[in-house]
Amino acid sequence: MTKTFYKVLSKVQGIYTLVTAVWPIADIDSFMEVTGPKTDVWLVKTVAAILIPVGLCFIFAYKLKRDFWLIFLLGITTTSALATIDFYYTAVGTISRVYALDGILQVIFLVCWVILCLRYQKWKTGFQGRHGG
């Protein structure tokens, strides 16, 4: 169950991250229609470009046979940072309230990663035993 949860979570978060990262690069106008006007478009595109490899790491994480801690660390730190930014800057009125929805989703991802970390030791023993990792 934990292995399946890991694969599903990493793929779902990866696809979500990749889509939301590619969107402002591909069509900044439609992105701003949904998320509100931006004064620093270059910064939006820079953050998006940084999130593309993060999304790809999540998508391909299921291929790892060891070093799951790297993906757990990526999941926990990324979701924590994005949720904090979303909630803080929404609260002070710097960004559109639509970002609070992303913050909620990031918290859900965070809770899922924490649950997986708590189950990791049991899973690691069973998973490596079957795959020789």
For residue 21, CA distances in Å to 38, 56, 59, 98 come to 15, 11, 14, 16
Residue 132 scores a pLDDT above 80: no
Distance of CA 120 to the CA centre of its chain: 19
CB 19 within 8 A of CB 78: no
Q: How many angstroms separate the CA atoms of 24 and 10, rounded?
A: 22
**Residue 63 DSSP symbol:** G
Would you call 34 exposed, middle or buried from its count of C-beta atoms within 10 A (0-12, 13-18, 19+)?
A: exposed
Q: What does the pLDDT average to over 106-116?
A: 96
pLDDT band, very low/low/confident/very high, at 119 (cuts 50, 70, 90): confident
More confidently predicted of 73 and 123: 73
What is the C-alpha end-to-end distance of the chain, expressed in Å? 18
Question: What does the pLDDT look like over 35-63, one tens digit per residue?
Answer: 999 999 999 999 999 999 999 999 999 88
Question: What does the pLDDT look like over 63-103, one tens digit per residue?
Answer: 876 778 899 999 999 999 999 999 999 999 999 999 999 99
pLDDT band, very low/low/confident/very high, at 128 (cuts 50, 70, 90): low
Q: How many angstroms separate the CA atoms of 98 and 38, rounded?
A: 14
More confidently predicted of 4 and 131: 4
